[in-house]
Amino acid sequence: MAAEETKDFSQARVMAFRFLKIRERSVKELRDKLALKAVSSEVIERTIAYLAEKKFLNDEQFARNWIRYRQARPFGPQRIKMELRQKGISEEIIVQQMQLAFENQGQEDAVFDLASRRAKRYANDDPIKRKKKVFDFLSRRGFGLEIIKKAVKDI
């Protein structure tokens, strides 16, 4: 029985490394991926503990990298928080990493640039419709109401 458990653990590790090779993942994402492959919960937990111990799996690092990646797109804080919650990141880690990521970075330039580029797409539309389309776009990107209002006003 111990040899079979070792074999299962070894196979689960190989699967986990394949998933992590594609992209970095949160603990929840990896747990869900392994469960879909019919890996037992004991082996999943053992695999996750092993990967965390070896520093291949770290939710704080994942959140930091995810925030950086999404800011470059650019996406706003509300959208990024929602995505992190969906990926199973704890609220404590989300708050901590969001504070670090957004404390020195002003969003205004990115939002104004994004709004003006999007408004050019609707240059032939009625000005009110153009503002609504840009407003809706920025809202879906997860930016706050106040910053969207300022950006849309200047269009």
For 103, half-sphere exposure in the C-beta direction (CA atoms, 13 angstrom radius) is: 6
- Same-domain check for residues 9 and 45: yes
pLDDT of residue 1: 46
pLDDT of residue 103: 74
Could you report the per-residue pLDDT of 141-151, keeping only the tens digit for each? 999 899 999 99
- Same-domain check for residues 87 and 115: no
Closest to 68 measured CA to CA, from 114, 21, 104: 104
CA distance 58 to 19: 14
Q: How many domains does the chain have?
A: 3
CA 15, 20, 22, 26 torsion: positive or negative? positive
Show the tokens assigned to 151: 């950006």
- Same-domain check for residues 12 and 48: yes
Which residues span the domain enclosing 38?
2-57
Kindly state the DSSP code that residue 124 receives in the 8-state scheme: T
- Same-domain check for residues 17 and 53: yes
Q: Which residues contact 31 (CB under 8 A, 6 or more apart)?
A: 44, 48, 88
pLDDT of residue 154: 80
Q: Which value, to the nearest 10 degrees, does the dihedral of the CA atoms of residues 50, 69, 37, 51 take?
A: 0
Contact assessment for residue 119 and residue 110, using Cβ atoms and an 8 Å cutoff:
no
Could you report the per-residue pLDDT of 90-117, keeping only the tens digit for each? 999 999 999 988 875 667 888 898 999 9
- Which positions of the chain have pLDDT values less than 70? 1-5, 104-106
Last residue of some domain: 102, 119, 136?
102
- Same-domain check for residues 52 and 7: yes
Q: The domain spanning residue 136 has which CATH number? A: 1.10.10
SS3 state of residue 26: coil
- Same-domain check for residues 46 and 65: no
pLDDT of residue 105: 63
